[in-house]
C-alpha cells in the first residue's frame, strides 16, 4: 500500500457512503494498521455488490465502531 492508494480508497469509500471527516479519520487509522488490513477492506469495497445487496456496509460499521 502506498499513500496514493490509501487516499484513493478513502475518497471512494467516503463518497459512496457519505462519511464525515471524523469517520474517514477512524477508517484511515484502521486501514493504515497494516497492508493486509488495507487489502482486506479495499478488496471488499471493490467487490461489495452481490445482486442488490451491499456486503460492505456491515464491515464499514464494524470498522467505525
pLDDT tens digits for 18-37?
Answer: 999 999 999 999 999 888 98
Q: What is the pTM of this model?
A: 0.87
Q: What is the mean pLDDT of the chain?
A: 91
At residue 52, the pLDDT reads 82
Predicted local distance difference test score (pLDDT) of residue 13: 95
Q: In this predicted structure, what is the pLDDT of residue 54?
A: 87
Q: Are 14 and 6 in contact (CB under 8 A)?
A: no
Give the domain range for residue 25: 3-64
Q: Residue 17: which of 6, 64, 37 has the closest Cα?
A: 64
Decide if 64 contacts 26 (C-beta within 8 A): yes
Domain count for the chain: 1
Residues 6+ apart with CB under 8 A from 42: 5, 9, 31
Amino acid at each position: 500500500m502506498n499513500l496514493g492508494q490509501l487516499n484513493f480508497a478513502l475518497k471512494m469509500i467516503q463518497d459512496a457512503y457519505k462519511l464525515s471527516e471524523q469517520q474517514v479519520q477512524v477508517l484511515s487509522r484502521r486501514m493504515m494498521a497494516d497492508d493486509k488490513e488495507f487489502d482486506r477492506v479495499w478488496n471488499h469495497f471493490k467487490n461489495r455488490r452481490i445482486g442488490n445487496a451491499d456486503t460492505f456496509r456491515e464491515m464499514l460499521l464494524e470498522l467505525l465502531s
